[in-house]
Structure 1
Amino acid sequence: MYSDPVQEEYSRLASVYDRRWSFYINATIQETINRLEIKPYERVVDIGCGTGALIQQMFNLVPEAEFAGLDPSIEMLNIAKQKLPKSIELWIGSADNLPFPSESFDVVISTNAFHYFRNPAQAIQEAKRILKPDGRLIITDWCHDYLTCRVCDFFLRLFNRAHFQTYTASECRDMLRFEGLQEVSIEKYKINWLWGMMTAKASKKIVNRYG
């Protein structure tokens, strides 16, 4: 029987995740929020929401917006339920088969999860599908352009079944453009000596073929 290594790992880590990775979580969430503009009454979904830390901070900043989260680990979602308002819907599922109707969100966000996706192209296609016209996709993840991240990626691919692959900024840009997203921009930055990150932003535009 197939077992999902990501689900297995985070089911095991759920109870200690926020405490063990507090600096990393807070720093990457802050960098993501710095590059976000969420308007009141927009619908926002966090793909790979984990324990709900990003949703919690976004809700505190824009409580008029409507938030949802999705994660493959029920244990992580159970912790998210304890810290988030009951109005926030949390779903169990995977990034490459999102359980949402087409064109149902203004903003799709993923932080610290993209290197786990077994099929990143399909995940981007799904994110694009559920975005409304002019909707925005924001992805924050490790950046393979940094030596420290290349070393981590090498060893994790050897010894950690949950880890899949990190990408350079240009590889991420090419994937987003290939799937038809527009206004693609990527910022690279370090949050400390070890973690080299990038935040990619893109939008879904409806192309008028006749004008």
Structure 2
Amino acid sequence: MDRIKENSKAAFDQQAAVYDKDIRGQHARSLYPILLERLARISFQSALDLGCGTGEMMKRILDTDGSKRLYGIDLSERMLETARAKLGERAALVLGDSEFLPFPDHFFDVVYCNDSFHHYPAPEKVLKEVRRVLKTGGAFLLGDCWQPPGAHMVVNFYMRHSKEGDVKIYSRAEMVSLLSRQFHDVSWERVGGSACIAMGTK
């Protein structure tokens, strides 16, 4: 595992016990209702939560519809322990790397990713894997950090020295370009002052 991933794993292992209430989880929590609203527009039965953290998104989905088949993957053992305590047997949780998804081809109706994409050192690999495990016509939904052009350049400069595995905040053009290599009907929307939602279809 490379240094960036090791830093991410260590940081989220440390944050797991308080992430659902701590300021460091605030940005992810702010995106929950927006992603849930987008998911409510999609007809799906199976979904993968990429970088599932404490499992809060899966809990909220299952509290609304317990028939969904949900899977979560995360690098952090402590995050998954928190998720298991919260979800019990209602979702399948896997310790693993989003660059190497341990699922068959064409397995999921939906893959979603909340506030973890900026931690991925090889986003192209992740998106290829997402495409592989999605069924034809399946949707990829992404919520992540966003900053205006000047600010995002400054933040990205300091991210090079991040001890928490942060890699890059993407501009609208960069995000759309990345997703368009693997998906069609790609959309991007700014949400509030520091977040964005992007979506594509296989």
Q: What is the distance in 2 between the residues matched to 1:79 and 1:117?
A: 22
Q: What is the distance in 2 between the residues matched to 1:23 and 1:33?
A: 16
CA 1:144/1:82 → structure 2, altered by over 3 Å: closer, same or farther?
same
Higher RCO (CA-CA < 8 Å; seq separation 6+): 2
Displacement of 1:157 in angstroms is: 2.6
2:12 is aligned with what amino acid?
Y
State the partner residue of 1:105. Answer: 108
Query: Which one is further off, 68-77 or 20-29?
Result: 20-29
From 193, 196, 204, the equivalent of 2:194 is: 196
From 123, 127, 132, the equivalent of 1:129 is: 132
Q: Please, what is the CA RMSD of the aligned residues? A: 1.9
Q: What is the distance in 1 between the residues matched to 2:149 and 2:19?
A: 25
Matches within 5 A, 1:21-170: 21=23, 23-36=26-39, 37-39=41-43, 42-145=45-148, 148-170=151-173
CA 1:64/1:146 → structure 2, altered by over 3 Å: closer, same or farther?
farther
* TM-score, L = length of structure 1: 0.86
Q: Following superposition, which runs of at least 4 residues in structure 1 exceed 2 angstroms of deviation?
A: 21-26, 37-40, 144-161
* TM-score, L = length of structure 2: 0.90
Look at both structures and tell me which one has the larger radius of gyration over its CA atoms: 1
Give ranges in structure 1 of 5+ residues lacking alignment.
205-211
1:10 is aligned with what amino acid?
F
Displacement of 1:63 in angstroms is: 1.7
Q: Residues 142-173 of structure 1: CA distance to partner in whole angstroms, max 9, x if unpaired?
A: 12436555544333333435111110111111
CA 1:149/1:85 → structure 2, altered by over 3 Å: closer, same or farther?
farther
Displacement of 1:38 in angstroms is: 4.4
Report SS of the residue matched to 2:72: strand
CA 1:174/1:75 → structure 2, altered by over 3 Å: closer, same or farther?
same
Asked if the contact 1:144–1:169 (Cα under 8 Å) also holds between the matched residues in 2, the reply is no
1:84 is aligned with what amino acid?
L
Report SS of the residue matched to 2:168: coil
CA 1:153/1:62 → structure 2, altered by over 3 Å: closer, same or farther?
farther
Displacement of 1:87 in angstroms is: 2.9
Count of residues in Structure 1 that have an aligned counterpart in Structure 2:
198
